[in-house]
């Protein structure tokens, strides 16, 4: 199996007006999905909203993430799958999509 | 990455209630929206972390730690702000630490409960504020539970919080006399909250049961207080448990109301009924009779009877007569009349209902429906049909309407019921 990275783009508006019960359900869904992934799951990390961006030859540093945050990178998963198609199928189960988020699925380059 | 096996049902909601109580003690009602924010941000952090890494072993302790740190940060920020010289906020980290200890958290919940259940607010607003603060219900959930609009709930909470700002901002412990008075108010709020969840005004909402369970939880919280006489609270718990035993049977699969006469008693939860009897026994501590004692006894007699006809109607009638001392409302008198009709026959019931209609007006759908039922029992189907028709005209409530129409249909189908 190959490794694939799932980059999670999240819409901050998706979380507006959520009640405690809503958060509860979201987390339960994520946990359920991770269970379902089973051996496909490799790792995952959430990312803080704090960010610095460094650009180009002049190494200009600015505050904040690279893209203006309607959709910010919220975290990533590393999963194992047989193909990009399978990885994409697996990624469909990730609950961020329900809140209007986007997932970019990228194969990790294998260097012989 | 691991999966926690403990029961995390309503973890966030419970946590929200506990957190709000502690934060109220630290910040007071004037910083109510700051409190909301701290709780929201704690959840967002949790959601963010746990969805990639899984839930930690001691989820609640984790949430507490995050909330505590955010609280300490906010206090520092507010401490630096010139606008806050008027209020003496706790700024010592160790004081905050102390308030986050287990026994202090329970104490905070009780203080918050007493603060929210204040006669300054209307009973409805007391319920709404309690649900928001103590029970961790979101605005939308409260709106659904109480058949209100989201907006109306939001306004109610906003106004209540402002009204309470002057009152007892830092949730100081009330004097013994204040605590006694307030205790009764709190008990009433729990009773009313339970009734809201038990009502069958419309099709069932999932939140209905949560409302009942929350009312039970808050009543139990009250019993933890050291004071002489918890008889009323135990009686209320008994009433709630007898009612919960019948919770699933009061509506059929289509969400239609099923009367206690028609319910399948075999499906009543015997475990809950047993608990009801336990609490009823405990309620005999002390020597104060409350309305909850009487209502619990009536509920016990229903739950203990194998069938509607075999119920101890004499017992129920005398409980109703004692209840008049506490509540002589129209509905109480109506219920009494119906119980009397079971004991002494339908004609007696009709007589009482007519008296009730004459004294207090007869444009009540419930009164007409009761008259219809009794005339049905007497075999007077023409009259029963007319009474049902009037009841339907007067009916303001969707679920009741469905029930009444069904009853009318049954009368029309009875031989002799339709004289066409």
In SS3 terms, chain B reads as: CCCCCCCCCCHHHHHHHHHHHHHHHHHCHHHHHHHHHHHHHHHHHHHHHHHHHCCCCCHHHHHHHHHHHHHHHHHHHHHHCHHHCCCCCCCCHHHHHHHCCHHHHHHHHHHHHHHHCCCCCCHHHHHHHHHHHCCCCCHHHHHHHHCCCHHHHHHHHHHHHHHHHHHCCCCCCCCHHHHHHHHHHHHHHHHHHHHHHHCCCCCCCCHHHHHHHHHHHHHHHHHCCCCCCCHHHHHHHHHHHHHHHCHHHCECCCCCECCCCCCCHHHCCHHHHHHHHHHHHHCCCCCCCCHHHHHHHHHHHHHCCCCCCCCCHHHHHHHHHHHCCCCCCHHHHHHHHHHHHHHHCHHHHHHHHHHHHHHHCCCCHHHHHHHHHHHHHCCCHHHHHHHHHHHHHHCCCHHHHHHHHHHHHHHHHCCCCCCC
Tell which wins on pLDDT, B196 or A69: B196
Q: Is the pLDDT of residue B166 over 90?
A: no
CA atoms of B232 and B279, how far apart (whole Å): 10
Tens of pLDDT, residues B245-257: 999 999 888 888 8
Q: Is the pLDDT of residue B174 over 70?
A: no
What pLDDT, on a 0 to 100 scale, did the predictor assign at position B95?
A: 81
What pLDDT, on a 0 to 100 scale, did the predictor assign at position A112?
A: 74
Residue B48 at interface with chain A, using a CB cutoff of 8 Å: yes
What pLDDT, on a 0 to 100 scale, did the predictor assign at position B219?
A: 94
Residue B37 at interface with chain A, using a CB cutoff of 8 Å: no
Q: Is the pLDDT of residue B315 over 90?
A: yes
DSSP secondary structure letter of residue A8 = E
Tell which wins on pLDDT, B393 or B7: B393
Tens of pLDDT, residues B276-311: 999 999 999 877 899 999 999 999 999 999 999 999
What pLDDT, on a 0 to 100 scale, did the predictor assign at position A14?
A: 74
| Residue pairs between chains A and B whose CB atoms are closer than 8 Å | 77
Which pTM value belongs to this model?
0.84
CB-CB neighbors (< 8 A) of A103 in chain B: none
Tens of pLDDT, residues B119-153: 889 999 999 999 999 999 999 999 989 989 999 99
Confidence of residue B8 (pLDDT cuts 50, 70, 90): low
Share of chain A above pLDDT 70, in %: 96
Q: Where are the alpha helices (DSSP H) in chain A?
A: 20-37, 84-91
Q: Is the pLDDT of residue B360 over 70?
A: yes
Contact between B198 and B247 (Cβ < 8 Å): yes
ipTM above 0.90?
no
Interface contact flag, B50 A31, Cβ < 8 Å = yes
Query: CB burial class (10 A; 0-12, 13-18, 19+) of residue B128?
Result: buried
Give how far A55 is from chain B: nearest CA, Å. Answer: 27
Q: Which of residues 5-24 of B touch A (CB under 8 A)?
A: 8, 10-13, 15-16
Residue B62 at interface with chain A, using a CB cutoff of 8 Å: no
Task: Please compute the mean of the pLDDT values over residues B60-83 and round it to a whole number.
Answer: 83
Task: Please compute the mean of the pLDDT values over residues B241-245 and round it to a whole number.
Answer: 97
Burial B359-397 (b: 16+ CB within 10 A, else e): eeeeebbbbbbbbbbbbbbbebbebbbebbebbbebbeb
Interface contact flag, A24 B13, Cβ < 8 Å = yes
Residue among B40, B48, B141 minimizing CB distance to A21:
B141
Interface contact flag, A19 B138, Cβ < 8 Å = yes
3-state class (DSSP) for residue A28: helix
Tell which wins on pLDDT, B39 or B420: B39
Interface contact flag, B138 A22, Cβ < 8 Å = yes
Residue among A15, A34, A74 minimizing CB distance to B1:
A34
Confidence of residue B90 (pLDDT cuts 50, 70, 90): low
Task: Please compute the mean of the pLDDT values over residues B57-65 and round it to a whole number.
Answer: 89
Interface contact flag, B54 A45, Cβ < 8 Å = no
Task: Please compute the mean of the pLDDT values over residues B32-40 and round it to a whole number.
Answer: 91
Confidence of residue B49 (pLDDT cuts 50, 70, 90): confident
Tens of pLDDT, residues B206-231: 889 999 999 999 999 888 777 777 89
What pLDDT, on a 0 to 100 scale, did the predictor assign at position B217?
A: 93
What pLDDT, on a 0 to 100 scale, did the predictor assign at position A16?
A: 76
Confidence of residue A10 (pLDDT cuts 50, 70, 90): confident
Interface contact flag, A19 B140, Cβ < 8 Å = yes
Best probe of the B interface among A16, A17, A21, by most B CBs < 10 A, is A21
Q: Is the pLDDT of residue A84 over 90?
A: yes
Mean of the per-residue pLDDT values for chain B? 88
Confidence of residue B339 (pLDDT cuts 50, 70, 90): very high
């Amino acid at each position: 199996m190959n490794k694939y990275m799932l980059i999670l783009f999240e819409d901050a508006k998706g979380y507006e007006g959520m009640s405690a019960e809503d958060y509860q359900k979201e987390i339960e869904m994520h946990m359920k999905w991770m269970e379902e992934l089973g051996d496909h799951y490799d790792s995952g990390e959430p990312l803080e909203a704090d960010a610095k961006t460094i650009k180009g030859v002049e190494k200009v540093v600015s505050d904040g993430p690279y893209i203006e945050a309607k959709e910010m990178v919220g975290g990533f998963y590393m999963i194992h799958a047989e193909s990009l198609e399978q990885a994409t199928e697996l990624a469909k189960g990730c609950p961020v999509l329900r809140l209007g988020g986007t997932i970019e699925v990228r194969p990790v380059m294998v260097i012989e | 990455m691991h999966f926690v096996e403990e029961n995390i049902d309503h973890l966030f909601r419970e946590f929200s209630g506990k957190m709000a109580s502690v934060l109220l003690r630290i910040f007071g009602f004037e910083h109510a929206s700051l409190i909301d924010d701290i709780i929201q941000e704690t959840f967002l952090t949790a959601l963010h972390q746990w969805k990639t890494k899984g839930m930690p072993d001691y989820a609640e302790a984790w949430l507490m730690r995050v909330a505590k740190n955010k609280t300490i940060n906010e206090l520092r920020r507010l401490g630096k702000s010139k606008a806050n010289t008027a209020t003496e906020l706790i700024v010592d980290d160790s004081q905050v630490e102390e308030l986050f200890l287990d026994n202090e958290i329970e104490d905070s919940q009780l203080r918050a409960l007493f603060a929210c259940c204040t006669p300054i607010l209307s009973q409805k607003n007391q319920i709404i504020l309690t649900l928001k603060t103590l029970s961790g219900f979101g605005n939308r959930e409260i709106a659904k539970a109480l058949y209100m609009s989201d907006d109306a709930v939001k306004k109610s909470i906003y106004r209540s919080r402002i009204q309470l700002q002057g009152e007892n901002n830092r949730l100081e412990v009330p004097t013994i006399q204040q605590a006694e008075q307030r205790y009764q108010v709190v008990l009433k709020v729990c009773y009313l909250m339970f009734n809201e969840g038990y009502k069958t005004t419309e099709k069932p909402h999932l939140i209905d049961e949560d409302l009942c369970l929350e009312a039970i939880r808050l009543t139990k919280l009250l019993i933890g207080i050291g004071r002489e006489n918890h008889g009323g609270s135990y009686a209320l718990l008994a009433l709630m448990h007898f009612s919960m035993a019948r919770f699933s049977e009061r509506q059929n699969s289509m969400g239609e109301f099923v009367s206690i006469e028609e319910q399948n008693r075999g499906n009543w939860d015997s475990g809950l009924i047993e608990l009801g009897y336990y609490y009823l026994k405990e309620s005999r501590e002390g020597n104060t009779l409350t309305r909850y004692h009487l209502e619990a006894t009536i509920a016990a007699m229903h739950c203990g009877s194998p069938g509607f006809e075999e119920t101890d109607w004499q017992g129920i009638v005398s409980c109703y007569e004692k209840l008049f001392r506490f509540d002589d409302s129209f509905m109480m008198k109506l219920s009494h009349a119906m119980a009397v009709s079971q004991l002494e026959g339908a004609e007696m019931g009709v007589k009482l209902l007519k008296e009730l209609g004459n004294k207090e007006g007869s444009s009540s759908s419930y009164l007409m429906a009761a008259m219809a039922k009794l005339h049905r029992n007497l075999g007077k189907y023409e009259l029963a049909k007319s009474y049902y028709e009037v009841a339907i005209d007067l009916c303001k409530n969707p679920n009741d309407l469905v029930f009444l129409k069904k009853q009318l249909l049954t009368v029309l189908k009875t031989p002799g019921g339709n004289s066409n």
